[in-house]
A and B are shown apart, each in its own frame.
Chain A
Amino acid sequence: MSSMMRGTTDNGPLLPVADADGLPFWEYAARGELRVQACADCHAPRFPPRPCCPGCGSFATEWRRMSGRGHIWSYVLPHPPLLPAYAAQVPYNVVIVELADSPGIRLVGNVVAAADAGLGSVPPSRLRIGAPVTAVFAEVAPGVTVPRWILEGR
């Protein structure tokens, strides 16, 4: 929790600053599980997490486990000026992945060659909208784990 709330490593990559609604996502991620918030009454999934269901008003929530499979909905290739930890990794990608289990849920992330590989480890030419991807998990700081994505069929 402490490092998760710290926000940044020393001049390193930004860490997720979780709020009360988002904290379970990161706790499950630390266990290698991709889960999204859903209403425990009407069962509609929602993202980002929030205190109550915009469909039925229920405050009862559950965290539904996802298979980790999805496809690229869009992507960008940021170039400098960037924060130093990111400038050092260009050309890197940032993608939006639409989850196969729950097509309305889209997660921002990075496509990498392996869970612990750099953000620029996949050549941009291999990226395309619609490409299938699978979630992996990387511990980016002690106690802080984020989902990443690898291209299927490699």
Chain B
Amino acid sequence: MTATLKDTTAIVGIGQTPFARQLPESEKTLACRAVLAALDDAGIPPSQVDAFASYTMEETDEVELAKAIGAGDATFFSRVGYGGGGSCATVAHLAAAITTGQATVGVAWRSRKRGSGPRPWTETRAQLPTPAQWTRPYGLLRPVDEIAMLARRYMHEYGATRDHLFDVALACRNRANQNPAAMMYDRPLTREMYMTSRWISDPLCLFDNCLETDGALACVVVSADRARDCRRAPVYVHSAAQGLPAQHHGMVNYWTDDPLTGPSWAAARQLWKHADFGPADVHVAQIYDAFTPLIPLSLEGYGFCGRGEGAAFSEGGALEIGGRLPINTGGGGLSEAYVHGFNLITEGVRQLRGSSTAQVPGATTCLVTAGEGVPTSALLLRS
């Protein structure tokens, strides 16, 4: 087998709108703004776009986007399932399409008005029969409840504490405090604030939850050859993977032999198999953080530490700039914006361009992950 995606494509443009609790423009308008900003960043005219990739819970489809931005004939378009689990897979699908000659210029995007729009879990009429019939009647209503269930079990099995979860929340907030685009830019977090905040789903409190955000982001993917002619330094897609583990059940993954081993483990095996470097060589990571417990679970899944060691990994400032593995350097979903993880992709690109507001000195490798707990995806980027 000779086919590979390794370094065959690069992200050459990123774009975004402001992030806020409420933006006046529609999701479609925000999507167009983000995509056009990303193309401008790359120095590629919209008429050359011939590939689109998005992920579910996206309301602006490729037909609407393509005709609004003035794209050319599209020859590849895909939509990945499972909401936030699909963020990185959009780039993976574009990389595969471009590498195999199906298209030449791809855009991926996410536009979402979750700040001003309805909370998805309040929908009671369109319940999915499986697996909601086994959980929602009992009052396990929201994603935070579903993850809190795994979090308490994790704390019970491995001695993880709320201080470990605070370490995660604090690292993200500290980076947001350096990032003027972040919703929490001017709002520092203290341990006292965390420990005295209200519960959302005990054992998880307010600060264990991501933000509610209106905003949009996009990126542009082209072949490595073409990337050398673009306006910005290329950020190469070194390895990419999706992960749906055997016998997985989605966010309510309570029925496998080992519910604390989530999709990140499956994605990681594929990701590292095709990479020239390993976890110890990752300089900075952007890890999906809808809820703080996803960080220790992901650190274990992607091999930064052993099973059950993810919480203790956060001790001593390990997740901060200068620590063993700086994470979510734009503030992440917890403190920059929650846009289903797309801001983690764009921040990974910034780190490898050397232009982050919380730059890791000399960073040349970055892991970006999508939602853990649902069928997921991940990227290894390098400069």
Contact = CB atoms under 8 A, between A and B. Distances in A.
Interface in A1-53: 7-8, 13-19, 21-22, 26, 47-48
A76 interface: yes
Interface residues of B, number: 38
A50 B143 CA distance: 23
A72 B203 CA distance: 16
A16 B149 contact: no
A76 B149 contact: yes
B152 A74 contact: yes
Contact of A106 (B133, B139, B255): B255
B199 interface: yes
A77 B148 CA distance: 9
Contact of B255 (A13, A47, A74, A75): A47
B247 A54 contact: yes
Contact of A119 (B122, B139, B249): B139
Nearest to B147: A76
A35 B257 CA distance: 20
B322 interface: no
Interface string B125-152: 1010111111111111110010011101
A79 to B, nearest CB: 4
A16 B139 CA distance: 11
Given A8-B125, A22-B134, A48-B134, A78 B141 contact: yes
B129 A18 contact: yes
Interface string B215-253: 000000000000000000000000000000001010010
A82 B141 contact: yes
B134 A108 contact: yes
In the A-B complex, the 5 residue pairs with the smallest Cβ-Cβ separation, listed nearest first, are: A77-B202, A19-B129, A74-B153, A16-B133, A76-B148
Interface of B: 119, 122, 124-125, 127, 129-142, 145, 148-150, 152-153, 156, 198-203, 247, 249, 252, 254-255, 257
24 contacts: A14-B136, A16-B134, A18-B133, A26-B133, A48-B249, A73-B153, A73-B254, A74-B152, A74-B153, A75-B149, A75-B152, A76-B148, A76-B149, A77-B202, A78-B139, A78-B202, A79-B198, A89-B139, A94-B138, A94-B139, A94-B149, A105-B255, A108-B138, A140-B137
